[in-house]
């Protein structure tokens, strides 16, 4: 696997349709996920013997493994799960009988191995929020019950977007934030460019109601133009500026959209900043999202 990437993990497992599966694992790294997906695109066709995956796949059965010198049955894991509707993720607190026999780092490793085995690596990133370890036994959910809980939320017909409105006081005054808390990095693996489009407000103040209506309409127009080109993550409005934040793959296509949009605006001063942001750190830095 060093020919693909030296930091890539791999795994042999029973296949879902073929006899065997060969899986690469990006180990939670967005840059390696791009590598794994490109590798998968060039993999041989699936046949009766081999299938290929760009992440660890779930197992249909509980797995027994040896770690830190003890045998662990992952089917004995219990979980207390709580649904966060704004992020559309499940926060999980885990307990296993072996936790009393191993140190904290090994307990956490067991927790991640359990979730990867239960859901598959991609689905853990997509649906699991915080992961904590319980200090004492709990009834909690069985592995099958935890999987069913996540499937229930996956099937929720409600829109995937969860827009939250908030604000904070900074050195320049009050900043208002509108952001899609449920937007997930894993669903846009190649959108590794952060695009910040800043509309300068000449008054130097927050927009009044009339100007806010104009800015909202212009923002809606930009979002519609960006469809299929960039992902809208949210906006900040502070005294003197409104900034719209997008994630994109093809900057040339984005620039074309922005140029066409700017032509239909009333006289306004626009600034555009581009930066590579593989991990979408702008969401926490600019929008206050974890």
76-110 confidence digits (pLDDT tens) = 999 999 999 999 999 999 999 999 999 999 999 99
CATH number, domain of 264, equals 3.30.70
- Whether 146 is covered by a domain: the verdict is yes
Percent of the chain predicted with pLDDT > 90: 77
- Residues with Cβ within 8 Å of residue 105, at least 6 apart in sequence: none
186-213 confidence digits (pLDDT tens) = 999 999 999 999 999 988 899 999 999 9
| Cα 229-120-189 angle, rounded to 5 deg | 15
Domain boundary (133, 154, 175) is at 154
pTM score, whole prediction: 0.89
* Same domain flag for 100 and 192: no
Task: Quote the domain boundaries for residue 186.
Answer: 163-287
Strand order in the sheet with 9-14: 9-14, 20-25, 50-53
Domain boundary (106, 122, 154) is at 154
- Residue pair 232/160 in contact (Cβ under 8 Å)? The answer is no
* Same domain flag for 174 and 254: yes
Confidence band, pLDDT 50/70/90 cuts, at residue 2: low
The domain tally of the chain equals 3
Residue position matching structure tokens 């140190």: 103
Residue 110 dihedral angles phi and psi, to the nearest 5°: -60, -40
DSSP letters spanning 76-87: G-EEEEEEETTT
Q: CB neighbours (10 Å) of residue 140?
A: 17
Which residue stretches of the chain are H helix?
30-41, 104-119, 121-127, 143-154, 209-226, 251-263, 282-287
Cα 41 to its chain centre, rounded Å, is 21
- Whether 207 is covered by a domain: the verdict is yes
- Whether 2 is covered by a domain: the verdict is no
């Amino acid at each position: 696997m060093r020919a693909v990437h030296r930091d890539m993990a791999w795994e042999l497992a029973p296949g879902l349709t073929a006899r065997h599966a060969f899986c690469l694992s990006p180990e939670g790294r967005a840059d390696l996920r791009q590598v794994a997906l490109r590798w998968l695109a060039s993999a041989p066709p699936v046949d009766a013997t081999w299938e290929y995956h760009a992440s660890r796949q779930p197992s249909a059965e509980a797995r027994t493994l040896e770690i830190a010198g003890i045998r662990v049955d992952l089917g004995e894991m219990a979980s207390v799960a709580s649904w966060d509707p704004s992020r559309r993720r499940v926060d999980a607190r885990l307990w296993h009988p072996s936790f009393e026999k191993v140190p904290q780092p090994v307990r956490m490793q067991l927790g991640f191995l359990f979730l990867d085995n239960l859901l598959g690596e991609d689905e853990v990133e997509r649906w699991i929020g915080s992961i904590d370890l319980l200090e004492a036994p709990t009834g909690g959910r069985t592995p099958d019950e935890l999987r069913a809980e996540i499937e229930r939320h996956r099937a929720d017909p409600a829109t995937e977007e969860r827009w939250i409105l908030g604000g904070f006081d900074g050195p320049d005054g009050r900043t208002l934030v509108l952001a899609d808390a449920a937007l997930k990095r894993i669903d846009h693996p190649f959108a590794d460019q952060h695009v910040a489009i800043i509309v300068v407000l000449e008054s130097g103040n927050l927009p009044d109601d009339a100007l806010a209506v104009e800015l909202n309409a212009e923002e809606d127009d930009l979002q519609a133009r960006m469809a299929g080109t960039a992902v809208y993550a949210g906006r900040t409005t502070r005294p003197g500026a409104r900034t719209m934040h997008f994630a994109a793959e093809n900057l040339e296509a984005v620039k074309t959209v922005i140029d066409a949009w700017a032509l239909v605006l009333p006289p306004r001063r626009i600034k555009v900043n581009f930066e590579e942001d593989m991990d979408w750190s702008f969401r926490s830095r600019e929008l206050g999202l974890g």
